[in-house]
């Protein structure tokens, strides 16, 4: 039996630029220390103790991640919740050690398996940010509200096109947001629980969901609006928004944002969400608006219609221009498409438009990456634009920026919000789509290209993995 200890000091910086800070790091502690000690070992296995000490502002929840370099795996862990994907290990606080005051520590233990050497991790990530050195100098810690542009809805507001609806199961979209992101319901007793953020402007608190849903099946019943307009979207079934569809399973997919575990809204055929009636502040008639969402290029189909955006208040196909929503999938509505998608298109009702007409737009391209950014903006009378990108890197590609299709000027938007189905929801042919929703927002006004580019930079900085 032998023991060995490694002490690593980690400095967690706050927001470092208008669009470079992630949601998690914006409210992370300015410094921490991690003590990782192998306490015993045996052929093929080892035990370890890990202590994280907060050297900065108080934390109300934490996640610690590291990478094993020699194929080690965690087989048992106590005083926390562990998830391992390949070499990466993420430990989320238990309910009783979530709070870390300044100078406070939390310790958890683990047993692991090894096949030979057992080097200690070379570094750690706490609450989404990783760096090494001494604690940061004592100066005011930047906050999302003092770093305008750090999160998508901060950026839109700074550009004069404020968010009027903002939805996500993974993170806050405003630097000041401290409320609930979504609600889950468990099968064992039909009780519900709101899932909030780990810290102000931060990532969703996956540990709350894990504890509540342990040993039961959970579904997502509501995705809350972070904008303050009350535009929550609920599943379109009995007890939800009053339609026929069912809620999505809450535990189907996990992702990480800068090392922080979060859950997606993983929509399969028959799942969809809707804002019942006309939403507050959302564009109607020919008023201009913009929409963005982060989705997945690997969970798609060609059925109608994986949409997010402006829709009919009566759930009926009410004519050309009654919708203004992003569509993402492999449907080629009018034919003539190039390749097999998936593509970012505009659902304007009575058609999924790849550009300004029913002819296939040659500038369209497929987005097959795990995470995809899609944007749509419409001035309501003459012009609309569609853009897309890998959400992990690079800038937005303009797929269309020009006139509205014939018959769609002026637009006749009704101001409801749809997520995961077509506007005439719950008919036999509009709720068969599949797709994943991570985050998205609708804004008042026609966003500038610079604003949209800054939003994309913020999404990349969030570190979806």
Please give the positions annotated as active site.
349, 424
Q: Is 95 helix (H, G, I), strand (E, B) or coil?
A: helix
Q: Is 363 helix (H, G, I), strand (E, B) or coil?
A: coil
For 379, 429, 446, the CA distances from 412, given in Å and listed in that order, are 12, 23, 16
In this structure, are residues 354 and 400 in contact, taking their beta carbons and an 8 Å threshold?
yes
Neighbouring CB atoms inside 10 A of 115's CB total: 10
Backbone angles phi, psi at 302, to 5 degrees: -105, 15
Using alpha carbons only, give the angle 443, 444, 445 rounded to the nearest 5 degrees: 115
Distance from C-alpha of 169 to C-alpha of 459, rounded to nearest angstrom: 14
Could you tell me the two tokens for 123?
């570094």
Question: Can you tell me which residue has the tokens 């993995």?
Answer: 465
Backbone angles phi, psi at 146, to 5 degrees: -95, 5
In this structure, are residues 235 and 248 in contact, taking their beta carbons and an 8 Å threshold?
yes
Distance from C-alpha of 188 to C-alpha of 157, rounded to nearest angstrom: 42
Question: Computed from CA positions of residues 356, 156, 254, 85, in that sequence, does the dihedral angle turn out positive or negative?
Answer: positive
């Amino acid at each position: 039996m032998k023991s060995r200890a490694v002490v690593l000091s980690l400095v967690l910086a706050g927001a470092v630029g208008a669009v470079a800070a992630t949601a998690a790091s914006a409210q992370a502690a300015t410094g921490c220390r991690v003590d990782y000690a192998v306490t015993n070992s045996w052929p093929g296995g080892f035990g370890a103790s890990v202590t994280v000490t907060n050297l900065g502002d108080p934390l109300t929840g934490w996640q610690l991640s590291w990478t094993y370099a020699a194929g080690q795996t965690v087989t048992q862990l106590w005083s926390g919740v562990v998830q391992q994907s390949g070499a990466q290990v993420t430990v989320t606080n238990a309910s009783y050690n979530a709070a870390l005051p300044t100078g406070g520590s939390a310790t958890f233990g683990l047993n692991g398996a090894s096949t030979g050497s057992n080097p200690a991790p070379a570094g750690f990530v706490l609450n989404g940010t990783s760096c090494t050195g001494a604690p940061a100098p004592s100066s005011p810690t930047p906050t999302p509200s003092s770093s305008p542009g750090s999160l998508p809805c901060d950026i839109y507001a700074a550009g004069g096109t404020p968010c009027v609806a903002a939805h996500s199961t993974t993170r806050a979209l405003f630097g000041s947001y401290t409320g609930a992101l979504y609600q889950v319901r468990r099968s064992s007793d039909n009780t519900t629980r709101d899932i909030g953020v780990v810290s102000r402007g931060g990532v969703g608190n996956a540990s709350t969901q894990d504890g509540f849903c342990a040993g039961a099946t959970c579904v997502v019943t509501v995705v809350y609006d972070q904008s303050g307009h009350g535009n929550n979207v609920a599943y379109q079934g009995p007890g939800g928004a009053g339609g026929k569809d069912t809620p999505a399973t809450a535990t189907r997919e996990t992702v990480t944002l800068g090392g922080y575990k979060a859950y997606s809204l993983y929509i399969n055929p028959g799942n969809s969400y809707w804002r019942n009636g006309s939403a507050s502040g959302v564009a109607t008639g020919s008023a201009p608006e913009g929409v963005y969402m982060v989705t997945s290029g690997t969970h798609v189909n060609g059925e109608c219609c994986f949409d997010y955006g402006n829709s009919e208040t009566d759930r009926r196909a009410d004519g050309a221009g009654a919708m203004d929503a992003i569509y993402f999938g492999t449907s080629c509505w009018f034919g003539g498409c190039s390749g097999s998608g998936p593509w970012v298109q505009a659902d304007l009702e009575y058609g999924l438009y790849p550009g300004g007409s029913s002819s296939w737009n040659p500038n369209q391209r497929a987005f097959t990456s795990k995470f995809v950014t899609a944007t749509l903006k419409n001035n309501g009378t003459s012009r609309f634009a569609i853009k897309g990108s890998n959400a992990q890197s690079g800038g937005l590609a303009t797929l269309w920026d020009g006139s509205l299709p014939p018959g769609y000027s002026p637009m006749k938007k009704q101001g409801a919000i749809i997520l995961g189905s077509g506007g005439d929801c719950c008919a036999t042919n509009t709720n068969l789509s599949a797709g994943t929703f991570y985050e998205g927002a609708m804004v008042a006004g026609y966003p500038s290209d610079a604003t949209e580019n800054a939003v994309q930079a913020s999404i990349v900085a969030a570190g979806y993995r």
